[in-house]
Structure 1
Amino acid sequence: MSIVLRAAACAAALLGATPLLAQTVPNPDFPALEAAQNAANGAPGPRSVPAKAVPVPDDVDLATAALVAAPYRVPAWNANPPDAAAWKALVDKLAQASLPGLAKARAALGVTIQPTTIGGVKGFVLTPKEIPDAHKGQVVYNIHGGGYVYGPGESGTAEAMLMAAYGGYKVVAVDYRMPPDAPYPAAMDDADAGYRALIAETDPKKVAVVGTSTGGGMALALMLRLKGEGVALPGAVAPGTPWSDMTETGDTYRTNEWVDNVLVSYSGYLTHAAQLYAAGHDLKDPQLSPIYGDFHGLPPTILTSGTRDLFLSNTVRTQQKLREAGVVQELQVYEGISHAQYLFDPQAPLTKEVFGEITRFFDQHLAK
């Protein structure tokens, strides 16, 4: 049984067989808890909160409830291999495990995939079975996520597949180099080279850049790099739950810790992956943490996150900076969703809605 199906059964049990989880019930111990919390939070400073269980929301569809109810993904979230060889072995194991599911999803969605090389960098072209007339000549450039370590090769094409299927675009996905073999700036160099090659043959105003998590952070960093070097920017950008700050700055790094069932805690693999990628560089460098860059002049941007996302603050702070810089921007936040879960179930209403909204935004801002 797949993770999604197992989680669906769990969610159905939680929402159906245990109705108390979906109701507000009096807590007989509340007076004592109230007094303890008042005493613990009676002065300015950090908030002290009691241990508690957070139920699956009762106002989401079953597919979304399945994602919310899913257990932590071990060993992905807390991986800490002892050396480079062990890192590569884990990454390859997880990548290989994802390939059958991706092939099945592509077949169901009618998306084809072809390897390519763009700007000297490996990549893939994903094409839907039909491209609407309005999207002909337009291209989506995808930068995959995975904490700078996960998602090599075809295993990193889930978002590109979904963008092709639900947006009706030709999608070019860059397979950038990653640590431990290739730390910063290799990934950014590859993303830059691929984009430059793409706009050498396509009007940049007909190009959108899409990326989730690490891919979202890299998309923003790429905009800053291109702007600084005087290269034409794309018509629109869609950073999903971007890793825009690698310094663990932001409220939801704490408020959503242990609630997000994907990333779980920054003290898991994220810390180790950040160290591998940065390789001693300052984490506040805008090419590593674009939140510290100048967002003036960036293209129209649509951001996506969820209420349980460890990176929700990254996303909200990014939108605030874009707004302050006068950039056209939108933020969509989904109930109960942890980090990047709109990529997990290709048939879920959530997935269709997220990519439908991104497509609507691109239809408003990409050149025809």
Structure 2
Amino acid sequence: MKRTALIAVAAVAAIGLTACSSGSGNAGGSSPASKQLNIYAWADEIPKSVIAAFEKETGITVTVDTFDANETMISKLAAGGSGYDIVEPSQYAVQQLVGQELVQKLDHSKITGLDNLAAKFADPSYDKGNEYSVPWIWGTTGLAYNTKCTGGKELTSWDALWDPAYKGKIYMLDNMLSAYIPALQVNGLKATSTSEKDIAKATQSLLDQKPLLAGYNSSNYADLLASGDACVAESYGGSAIAKVVADNPDVKFVIPKEGGTLWVDGFSIAKDAPHADAAYKWLNFTLEPKIAAMATDDGGSASANEAAKKEITDKASLDSVAVYPSAEQLKNSEFIVDPGKALTFFQQGWTKVKAS
């Protein structure tokens, strides 16, 4: 999955504000008992089983609309009157939503289960103290390759994406900030750097790499690796690549030694949520270990809930680096956060790369 989320991170101001979704239901106000909950989330990240279980337990009817980019979600909230109660921002988008005062500061006295979160999500850099978001699922950005194509050689570094031996069979993610992750880290720089000099160096690396590429691809690169049409690809961890790795022993997924990155999608309550009480019930429900485990068993994603691991029945996922990499494998990984004013440097560089 993902991450179209990272495209034009702070460009939401330039996106036309969209009208209220037809699925937003009762935007006008909340009944005392709030029997409605309107959610705006990433497609396929909340399993239907979770929705059904919540409705059965609470009697609350859930409406889910989906988006394919954080910027779309932010624009919808910024337009006002969206009618949404719960939104599912990625980590950097939480920062933007808070900056634009589009989500509520959470009342922790109304939330139970935060202590079930894994340590790296209990006090994340992008939302200290989980003041505005409750992490739901997470994943990584790493390296995938086909060992038949590499002659059995194991790849451990982003360097492989610049190796002439794989010319014409290298794919990079078709996403600005995602592409800059290996371009920065291969130069010994932080993926979170906002230095103009660092970004310029990474841009040059992407320009040097361009003649080696088969293309930029964020959709079916896993299938191309499985068929051997791709040798090596920058890849998002998660259900898509995990399935290919499980089905095809020639395909491997690794967190490169330079670190790769982490992403996390979580739940926040919209500033003008018409059913805030139902929204808190949702947060508490999804923090229950048995419910959080459904994110893996039914959704194929890693849960941010540490206590959920004991409830997961798909034990193979727990051993898959594509879904649940170990702490050791993640030791050099960082969260990609909002680059702020440095976004301009990324955009200028990306324009040069795409035009070359």
Query: TM-score, length-normalised on structure 1?
Result: 0.28
